[in-house]
């Protein structure tokens, strides 16, 4: 199973840059960086909802629990639909 890391970097001038990368890759690829937290959050949320992907989170705390509950509720609704 592929595992993604939800991480952030702090710049010398006080900004945060969000970094979404595969756990097997430690080198920073500019394509893995997000300057907008909302874009980063949406992508991370998609990963949380995908049952075929795993993740390690260093950015979100409370949000992750909400996303997990939402994903579980959707999965339960889908299972009940097919009963």
The per-residue pLDDT string of the chain (83 residues; one tens digit each, 9 = 90 and over) reads 899 999 999 999 999 999 999 999 889 999 999 999 999 999 999 999 898 999 999 999 888 889 988 888 887 777 766 65
Instruction: For the beta carbon of residue 47, count every other beta carbon within 10 angstroms.
Output: 18
What residues form DSSP beta bridges with 18? 8, 34
pLDDT at 75: 79
pTM of the model: 0.82
9-20 b/e (C-beta count within 10 Å ≥ 16 → b): eeeeeeeeebbb
Angle of helix 62-81 versus helix 37-49 axis, rounded to 10:
40
Please give the full DSSP string across 17-59, using - where no structure is assigned.
EEEEEETT--SPPGGGEES-HHHHHHHHHHHHH-TTEEEEESS
């Amino acid at each position: 199973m592929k595992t993604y890391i939800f991480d952030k970097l702090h710049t010398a001038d006080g900004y945060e840059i969000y970094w979404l990368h595969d756990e097997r890759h430690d080198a920073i690829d500019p394509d893995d960086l997000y300057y907008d937290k909302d874009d980063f959050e949406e992508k991370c949320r998609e990963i949380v909802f995908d049952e075929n992907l795993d993740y390690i989170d260093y950015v979100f705390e409370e949000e992750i629990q909400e996303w997990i509950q939402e994903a579980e509720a959707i999965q339960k609704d889908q299972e009940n639909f097919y009963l």
